[in-house]
Structure 1
Amino acid sequence: MKSIFEKDLIAACIRQDRKAQFELFERYKVALYSTVYRILDDEAEAHDALQESFIEIFKGIKKFRGESTLGAWMKKIAVRKAIHMTKKRIYFSSLDQVDAFSEAGVLDGWIDGQMLDQAIRKLPVGCRSVFLMIEVEGFKHAECAQMLSISESTSKSQLFYAKKLLRESLNQVLKA
């Protein structure tokens, strides 16, 4: 199937045209998989989340109102699926622990993407989810808090804590 405009693709998906659904899947599978994998840090769970996301996307595409891009709407569904899968294992550190850390500790050296990715994977699930949603996916704290069923202040403190842990982890790698 030749590439078709997004509006036509959406209309065809609403009609449950299998070729259009496949085209939509092909266009967005890599980006959505990358998003859910970064949240879940598990290939099998990421594949499950991707599959469940596309099922929900195809069932709910008639509800897409075009208030955002199709990709952004789909990403929000995928993020919610991934977060739903982590609900039982998300542990948010106490605010007392976060307050005990200082903002000091700038990185002393050069890091690459692989080092950063490994450090992000080591973060506790709650911190990692908030960090990825805010810093990588570009969600606002209010949106993040709503999707994770936490307060906005918890979202902010988890982001602070995630950055602190990342600095510590990367500094250890650089000193080694």
Structure 2
Amino acid sequence: MMIGTKKIINSPPDNTPARMTETELVEACRRQDRRAQKELYDRYSRAMYTACYRICGDFDLANDALQEGFLKVFQKLDTFRGDSTVGAWMKVVIVRTALNKLRRQKPTQELPLNYADQEVDWGTTALDIEYLEKAINKLPDGYRAVFVLIEIEGYKHQEVADMLNFSVGTSKSQLFYAKKKLREYLRHYV
């Protein structure tokens, strides 16, 4: 005699936030559904933290920017029109928050650069990632923000200009000088 077997599935029901589409999740967050807000945070917090850290260059400041940024996201979610993905919209809100936190920090004093005047051969030198991150973090705030947004996050100059409220020319100039400074910082390493 065979007894019937019951198949147990460990996936959440269809109506839980973990199974919701992005649109359903946004609507649930707009209704102040705390489970949906947690799910939105869980889906995007790691990527958003990475962007914050790359801009701020400091773990604590990046974490503060992330938390403050998510508060703004939940407060402003009614303004999300759906012209882009919610992730792209959130990234703009959180990146702006990180930039504002960075601007409010006391400026740090730059170390004098006494490096050799030889050219850097980018093609044959393998740079240690950790050293490169340290060099990026040494960039002045404006240069670092533009460099990170364009070279690491993949934004276009127009998007960065709109995000930071300056001209495309300023974005291009900031990127040029960021790269120049990085070459100076990394020159002695190679």
| TM superposition shift of 1:42 | 1.8
For the Cα contact (< 8 Å) 1:90–1:125, is it kept in 2?
no
In the alignment, what sits opposite 2:101? 85
Distance in 2 (CA, whole Å) between partners of 1:32 and 1:80 is: 12
Matched-pair identity in %: 48
In the alignment, what sits opposite 2:121? 106
**TM-score, with structure 1 as normaliser:** 0.82
For the Cα contact (< 8 Å) 1:9–1:20, is it kept in 2?
yes
For the Cα contact (< 8 Å) 2:92–2:163, is it kept in 1?
no
In the alignment, what sits opposite 1:8? 24
| TM superposition shift of 1:172 | 1.1
1:40-55 aligned within 5 A = 40-55=56-71
| TM superposition shift of 1:76 | 0.5
Q: Does structure 1 residue 26 correspond to structure 2 residue 79?
A: no
The Cα offsets for residues 102-150 of structure 1, whole Å up to 9 and x where unpaired, read as xx64325211322221211111111111101111122222232233333
Q: Does structure 1 residue 125 correspond to structure 2 residue 141?
A: yes
The structure carrying a bigger helix percent of its residues is 1
Amino acid at match of 1:164: K
| TM superposition shift of 1:167 | 2.1
Point out where structure 1 has 5 or more consecutive residues left out of the alignment: 92-103
In the alignment, what sits opposite 2:179? 163
What is the Cα-based RMSD across aligned positions, in Å?
2.0
How many residues align structurally? 162
Gap change, CA 1:88 and 1:154, over 3 Å in 2? farther
4+ residue segments displaced more than 3 Å: 88-91
Amino acid at match of 2:139: L
Distance in 2 (CA, whole Å) between partners of 1:37 and 1:77 is: 15
For the Cα contact (< 8 Å) 1:90–1:126, is it kept in 2?
no
**TM-score, with structure 2 as normaliser:** 0.77
Distance in 2 (CA, whole Å) between partners of 1:19 and 1:59 is: 16
Bigger radius of gyration, 1 or 2? 2
Secondary structure, counterpart of 2:189 in structure 1? helix
Amino acid at match of 2:183: R
| TM superposition shift of 1:60 | 1.6
In the alignment, what sits opposite 1:68? 84
